[in-house]
Amino acid sequence: MTTLEELSAITAAARAAEHAVASASDTVRAGWLRAVADSLDAHSDELVRIADEETHLGATRLQGEVARTTGQLRLFADVITEGSYLEAVIDHAVPTATPPRPDLRRILHPIGPVAVFSASNFPFAFSVAGGDTSSALAVGCPVIVKAHSGHLKLSERTAELMLEALERAGAPKGIFALVTGREVGQALVADPVIQAVGFTGSVSGGRALFDLAVSRPDPIPFYGELGSINPVVLTASAVAARGAELATGLTASFTLGAGQFCTKPGVVFVPAGAGFEAAVAEAASGASGGKLLTDRIAEAFPAGVAAIASDPAVEVLAGEVQQEDVTAGATPVVLGTTAAAVAERPETLLEECFGPATLLVSYDSEDELLDALRVVPGSLTATIHGQPDEDLSALVAVLRGRAGRVLFDGWPTGVAVNWAQHHGGPWPATTSLFTSVGATAARRFQRPVAYQSAPASVLPEALRDENPLRIPRRVDGRIELP
């Protein structure tokens, strides 16, 4: 367990490293990221073994997650060497304008040392070397990670490998550290050295840290991913055309990883009288759940299911609400209700239930469906299953206001890591616009600085007329490519 005295030394080292990390070239920082990725890949078997002992997620899933994690590191290396992440803008002086316009040049600079809180459900991709860490390091911010108690051994070993790789690659001391303990996590957010926080976890835990971050004498941004029920809409035409396939796909999605994905489809709107509920109940009865990540999650799962099932408009379609030994493994639960009930009591029926459970909501008309969708809490994703000849514009208009990613004819579990990906949504999905997946994650840990009538000698290279970095820029209102 990290002590408060040790934390003070760690944050002091991060402060001391801040200038060296920020002033390193993009090429050099990209080398640091690739060195970490290479080291994690080289030790993949060892890391997967430790992770499976602590999380029981299975070697196949964990091996894929290591690959995703190292892929993220390499993506951010590509992002910073491409250069547009700096958002370099140059507006030359126009002395003849009324009033005269000075020479103005703007660029994004690293925000400073960043605190990152690991997630329980992704011990690699949203953890010590995950997207928060890699995006912050990429843009030149030292990082201090608070390890998750659910996989401490893995966190410590991953941190060891990262530190060794960073040292071999020539990164400055203080660029990265790992701390443990709840009290230390709170002190980390309050420490004046820390300039931003990345968090993935529960609404209650995230809200407490969010309030701490913004109540500091110097409030700082808190980028939290907290809760998401990820609504799915099935049209009557889609169910008529491929109902059995949709039932199988939904079941596979909401039980994947024992229902512990942040993108799990937690509420599914289905046409009344189409028989879809029976198809899902049958598919779920043959599906397995799995061991939940922590005792706390295991205790919360049946309680969460019971809270929803206690509503008089809810029916248990498959599975058991009261599970005898959920710590040994949770089994799938399918609940059913109506769109009218959801519109009346969203605070009860649309509560996130972390684990292998989903709520099927029947609707009689498009108007009833849209009314219910408007009360759905902010989510990371929203999914539509329709047919090619259907007009889905009204659904899209509502759902894009409730989620950050709108999917068509697929399932939300599974998040590609690339330039176009967006992972975020309205509260409580995120506390800001987006989180740690996709190239724009780097934007969270930068702040804009404009230089007015500055001599060339003090300008960052990205803002000099000759464009020595050969990066994309906007000059006098036009995009210029190298």
pLDDT of 250-300, one tens digit each? 999 999 998 999 999 999 999 999 999 999 999 999 887 788 888 889 888
Unique residue bearing structure tokens 């990265």: 176
Within 8 A by CB and 6+ apart from 245, the residues are: none
User: For 12-66, how does the pLDDT look when each residue is reduced to its tens digit (9 = 90+)?
Assistant: 999 999 999 999 999 999 999 999 999 999 999 999 999 999 998 999 999 999 9
The pLDDT value recorded for residue 157 is: 98
Model pLDDT, residue 127: 97
Residue 75 above 80 pLDDT? yes
Going by their DSSP bridges, the two strands 357-363 and 333-338 should be labelled as: parallel
3-state SS, residue 199: strand
CA–CA distance, 378 with 356 (Å, rounded to integer): 20
Please tell me the distance from the alpha carbon of residue 417 to that of residue 423, in angstroms, as a whole number.
10
Task: Check residue 323 and give its pLDDT.
Answer: 82
Cβ neighbours of residue 333 under 8 Å, at least 6 residues apart?
A: 284, 305, 316, 318, 319, 320, 321, 356, 357, 358
Q: Residue 289 has what pLDDT? A: 78
Per-residue pLDDT at 322: 86
Catalytic one of 54, 65, 225, 277: 225
Supply 288's token pair.
């397995």
**What value does the mean pLDDT take over residues 394-401?**
97
Looking at residue 290, its pLDDT comes to 84
Alpha-helical runs (H) found in 295-404: 295-309, 339-344, 346-349, 366-373, 393-399
Q: Is 351 a catalytic residue?
A: no
Retrieve residue 125's tokens.
């991709």
pLDDT tens track for 77-127: 999 999 999 999 999 999 999 999 999 999 999 999 999 999 999 999 999
For the chain, which domains are there? Answer: 4-226+432-480 (3.40.605.10), 232-408 (3.40.309.10)
Residues 13-26 have pLDDT tens digits of: 999 999 999 999 99
Q: What is the average pLDDT score of the chain? A: 95
Q: What pLDDT is stored for residue 152 in this prediction?
A: 97
Average pLDDT over residues 150-172: 98
Q: pLDDT confidence of 368, banded at 50, 70, 90?
A: very high
pLDDT for position 349: 96
What is the model's pLDDT at position 180? 97
pLDDT in tens, 115-151: 999 999 999 999 999 999 999 999 999 999 999 999 9
Distances (CA, A) of 339 to 4, 70, 255, 368, 369: 51, 42, 23, 7, 6
Tens of pLDDT, residue by residue over 201-251, are 999 999 999 999 999 999 999 999 999 999 999 999 999 999 999 999 999
Within 10 angstroms of residue 456's Cβ, the number of other Cβ atoms is 9
- Per-residue pLDDT for 308 more than 90? yes
* Alpha-carbon gap, residue 125 to 119, rounded angstroms: 9
Question: 141 an active-site residue?
Answer: no
Q: What pLDDT is recorded for position 299?
A: 87
Contact criterion met (CB below 8 Å) for 391 and 366 = no
Catalytic residue among 18, 54, 262, 277: 262
User: Does the pLDDT at position 325 exceed 90?
Assistant: no
pLDDT of residue 298: 87
Task: State the pLDDT at residue 177.
Answer: 98
